[in-house]
Amino acid sequence: MISERAYAVEPWTVRETSLDLDVLAQSESVFALSNGHVGWRGNLDEGEPHGLPGSYLNGVHEVHPLPYAEAGYGYPESGQTVINVTNGKVLRLLVDDEPFDLRYGRLVSHERVLDLRRGVLERTCEWTSPAGSTVRVRSTRLVSLTQRAVAAVAYEVEAVGARSRVVIQSELVANESLPDSDGDPRAAVALKSPLEQEDDFASGHRLRLVHRTRRSGLRVAVAADHVVDGPERTTTHSESGIDVARLTVTSVLEPGQTLRVEKLVAHGWSGVRSLPAMADQVDAALAAAAHDGWEGLLADQRATLDDFWARADVEVEGDEEIQQAVRFALFHVFQAGARAEGRAIPAKGLTGSGYDGHAFWDTEMFVLPVLTHTAPAAVAEALRWRYHTLDEARERAAQLGLGGAAFPWRTIAGPEGSAYWPAGTAAFHVNADIADAVVRYVEATGDTAFEREAGVELLVETARLWRSLGHHDSHGVFHLDGVTGPDEYSAVADDNTYTNLMARQNLLAAADTVERHPREAERLGVDEEESAAWRDAAEAMHVPYNDELGVHEQHAGFTRYQRWDFAATRADQYPLLLHFPYFDLYRKQVVKQADLVLAMYTCDELFDDEQTARNFAYYEPLTVRDSSLSACCQAVIAAQAGHLGLALDYTREAALMDLHDLEHNTRDGLHIASLAGTWMALVAGFGGLRRDRERLKFAPRLPERLRRLAFNLEFRGRRLRVDIGADKASYSLLDGPPLSLRHHGEALTVSADEPAVRPIPAAPRRTVPHQPEHRAPNGG
Angle at 138 between CA 136 and CA 142, to 5 degrees: 165
Count how many Cα atoms sit within 13 Å of the Cα of residue 64 in the half-sphere of its side chain.
18
Q: Which residues pair with 112 in a beta bridge?
A: 16, 123
Q: Give the integer Cα–Cα distance in Å for 443 and 84.
A: 38
CB atoms within 10 A of CB 235: 11
Of 32, 24, 235, whose CA–CA distance to 114 is shortest? Answer: 32
Catalytic choice (488, 520, 553, 653) = 488
Q: Is the dihedral of CA 111, 160, 46, 251 positive or negative?
A: positive
Q: Give the integer Cα–Cα distance in Å for 659 and 656.
A: 5
Of 461, 448, 464, 435, whose CA–CA distance to 517 is shortest? Answer: 448
Q: Give the integer Cα–Cα distance in Å for 250 and 478.
A: 74
Q: Give the integer Cα–Cα distance in Å for 562 and 681.
A: 31
Side chain identity, residue 161: G
Name, in order, each residue with C-beta under 8 angstroms of 142's C-beta and a sequence gap of 6 or more. 33, 119, 120, 121, 151, 152, 297, 298, 301
Angle at 634 between CA 629 and CA 637, to 5 degrees: 135
CA distances in angstroms from 333 to 94, 338, 460, listed in the order given: 37, 8, 29
Residues 338/312, Cβ–Cβ less than 8 Å: no
Angle at 685 between CA 680 and CA 691, to 5 degrees: 75
Q: Give the integer Cα–Cα distance in Å for 37 and 35.
A: 5
Classified as helix, coil or strand, 215 is coil
Residues 631/674, Cβ–Cβ less than 8 Å: yes
Q: Give the integer Cα–Cα distance in Å for 153 and 263.
A: 5
Q: Give the integer Cα–Cα distance in Å for 660 and 678.
A: 14
Name, in order, each residue with C-beta under 8 angstroms of 749's C-beta and a sequence gap of 6 or more. 738, 739, 740, 741, 756
Q: Which helix (H) or strand (E) is 138 found in, with range?
A: strand 134-143
Helix/strand number for the chain, H first, E second: 19, 35
Phi-psi region of 559 (alpha: psi -120 to 50; beta: other; left: phi over 0): alpha
Q: In this structure, what are the phi and psi dihedrals at residue 733, rounded to the nearest 5 degrees?
A: -95, 115
**Is 28 among the catalytic positions?**
no
Burial class (CB in 10 A: 0-12, 13-18, 19+), 769: middle
Gyration radius of the chain over CA positions: 27
Classified as helix, coil or strand, 115 is strand
Catalytic residue ranges: 488
